[in-house]
Structure 1
Amino acid sequence: MTDDVTNDSGPAHGVRLSAGDTEVTVDPAGGGRLSSLRVGGIELLRQGEHYGSFPMVPWCGRIELGRFRTGGDIHQMPVNAAPHAIHGTGRDTAWRTVRTSADESGRSTSAAFTYDLAEPWPYSGRVTQLVELAEDSLTLTMGVETYDDSFPAQIGWHPWFRRNLGTGKDVEIDFRPAWQEERGADHLPTGRRIEALPGPWDDCFGMPEGVDVTLTWPGALELKVTSRAEWVVVYDEQDEAVCIEPQSGPPNGLNTLPRLVTPIDPLEVSTTWSWRALA
C-alpha cells in the first residue's frame, strides 16, 4: 500500500516508520534527519535538535575557508565552522515528504523525501533521500541530480550513535581501513595517506572495498554500518556519542577530489545499518 504526498514536509512530529520491534522517525522539516532510531525499545541515536542522524549534502565535512572552484569560478559557502564551511546545506533545509509506503499490516516501512538545491549553493538541482526499514536493518539512499549545469557534489550521513545505551559498557568501534587521511592543524586532510592511528578520532579513512564498520555495545547490540562509498569519517571525541560517517568523498573533496554531477550522470550513494541483539 502506498500513500503519495506531494507538498508536505511531514507532520510536526515527523514521519514514523516501523518494522518488528524497530521504529525510525524522520524529521523532514528539520533537515531530513533521523530524529530517532529505536531497536527493542532502546534509543540508539543521541537526542537533540542538532543530533540524531543528518544527511550531508551537497558536500561532506569541511570545505577549506568555505570556498570551492568550478572552472574559472570561485564559490563562497557560509563559514559555519570557522574558518571553514561544514557538512553541506541539506541539514538546514526543510525537505518535502513525497511518498510513504506501508506493509500488509498497514505499518509504514519506507518513505522518500526531496528538496531543491538553492542559495547559498550556486547550482540548481534536486536532492532525494529514500529511507527503507526492515526488522533488522535500515537502508538510506541519497541522490543528487542537476537541472542544468554540471557541478561537483558529495553525499554522506552523520549519525550520532549513543556511546552508552544504559545497558552496560560503552560502545566499541571495529574497522579495518586501508589508510587514514593525515589531518592537519586546520582539521583538513593534508593529502598524505598514513597508517591508521589509534583513537580518539576526528579523522577520515579510506576503505576502497566499501565502508564496513562494526559498533558493539557489549551484552546489548551489534550494529554494522556498510556502504559502497569508499570513505568514512569516524568521530569519537565527545563523551555522549560516536559518529560513523560514510561519504562519497573526503573532507574538502569539492576542491581535492571533485565528483561531477552531470545531466546524464547523477550522484547516488546508499548506506545500510544492520543489527543483531547480543543479550
Structure 2
Amino acid sequence: MSTHDDFTLTTGDAEATVSPRNGGRITSLRIGGVELLRQGERYGCFPMAPWCGRIREGRFLDGGTTQQMPLNAPPHAIHGTARDHAWRTARKGADEAVITLDLADPWPYPARLTQVVALTEESLTLTLAIETHGSSFPAQLGWHPWFNRTLEGPLGGGEGARLEFDAAWQEERGEDHLPTGRRLEKPLPGPWDDCFGMPGGVDVAVVWPERLELRVTSPEKWVVLYDEQDAALCVEPQTGPPNGLNTAPRLVTPLEPLEATTTWRWRRL
C-alpha cells in the first residue's frame, strides 16, 4: 500500500474515508450506511491551509515583502494550496490516522502540515497543525466540508438540511466577496457565502429534520457558512476571516506552530 492511498477508518456504524492523494480530504463520512458528505473529486471535506477563503488579488504582506499566490478564483486566490497536493500517511489505526504534507511551490516558506483524523461511534475530530523550522510567516487553518442537502438510504426523504446557529456578528461582505471590515450585529438572512463571528467558539448544527443532527464545533471564533447550492451546504471553521493573511494574520514561527481543531458530533432525531 502506498502512503498516498485512500483508507477507511471504522468504529461502530461510523466510517470515514481519507484520501491523502486528493489533498488530504475526507471523501466520505457514513453513519449507519448513510453518506453525509457530497461525493465528487472536489467535494468531501478538504483542509484549508496555509490560508482560508479568498486572499484579495492573491497578494499578502509579510513584513515589507509582498507575496503573490496564483489566482485560482480570479481576481482572488482561494482556500490555500494544501488541497492541491498529495499528502502522506504517517500513521494509521482502525479509528485514527495521521497524514502530513510538506508545503512547496507556490507557497514561499518551508512548512509542514499535519492532520489527525479521529473517529468514534458518535463523532469525527480533525486536528490540523502547521509548523516551520525556517522563516516565520502568516498563516490560517480551517476545513471546508460539503454536507449533502438531502440524505439517501435509511435516513433519506423529508426536508433538506438546514443550518442552526447563533453568531455574535456577521462580517459584511463586499461585492468582491471579501469582508469590508464592518461587522453586522444582526446577521442577515441566507442564502449565505459569509463569515460569522462566534467568540465563544464555533457551534453550528446541520439538521436533517426528524432524521439526523450533526453539530460542528471548534475553539476557533470564525466560521464561513455557505448554502447557495441545492445539492450541499458548508460549515467552515477557521482561524481567521477571509483575506485574513492581510487583516488578521496568525504568525507561525519555529517556536510557535499554529494548530486548529474541529469536532463533528451526530445524533439521530
What is the TM-score with the length of structure 1 in the denominator?
Answer: 0.93
Residue of structure 1 aligned with 2:97, choices 91, 108, 111:
111
Offset, 1:271: 0.1
- Separation in structure 2 between the aligned mates of residue 268 and residue 111 of structure 1, nearest angstrom: 17
- Separation in structure 1 between the aligned mates of residue 190 and residue 227 of structure 2, nearest angstrom: 8
Who is 2:4 aligned against?
A: 10
Who is 1:141 aligned against?
A: 127
- Correspondence list, 1:22-33, <5 A: 22-33=14-25
SS in 2 for 1:255: helix
Who is 2:92 aligned against?
A: 100
State whether residues 4 and 86 of structure 2, in contact with CA within 8 Å, keep that contact through their aligned partners in structure 1. no
SS in 2 for 1:254: helix
- Separation in structure 2 between the aligned mates of residue 277 and residue 45 of structure 1, nearest angstrom: 16
Offset, 1:264: 1.0
Who is 1:203 aligned against?
A: 194
Residue of structure 2 aligned with 1:52, choices 44, 49, 53:
44
Who is 2:62 aligned against?
A: 70
Offset, 1:153: 0.4
2:145 maps to 1:159: yes
SS in 2 for 1:91: helix
Offset, 1:20: 0.3
- Correspondence list, 1:155-234, <5 A: 155-166=141-152, 167=156, 168-194=158-184, 195-234=186-225
Corresponding pairs, count: 264
Offset, 1:15: 1.3
State whether residues 9 and 94 of structure 1, in contact with CA within 8 Å, keep that contact through their aligned partners in structure 2. no
- What stretches of structure 2 of length at least 5 have no aligned partner? none
CA offset digits 1:187-213 (Å, max 9, x no partner): 000000002111000000000100000
What is the TM-score with the length of structure 2 in the denominator?
Answer: 0.97
Offset, 1:9: 3.0
2:247 maps to 1:256: yes
Offset, 1:277: 1.0
Offset, 1:10: 3.3
CA offset digits 1:62-101 (Å, max 9, x no partner): 0000000101110100000010000000000100000012
State whether residues 19 and 133 of structure 1, in contact with CA within 8 Å, keep that contact through their aligned partners in structure 2. yes
Offset, 1:22: 0.5
CA offset digits 1:117-170 (Å, max 9, x no partner): 111001001000000000000000000001211100000000000001132111
RMSD: 0.9
SS in 2 for 1:29: coil
State whether residues 60 and 88 of structure 1, in contact with CA within 8 Å, keep that contact through their aligned partners in structure 2. yes
- Separation in structure 2 between the aligned mates of residue 172 and residue 64 of structure 1, nearest angstrom: 30
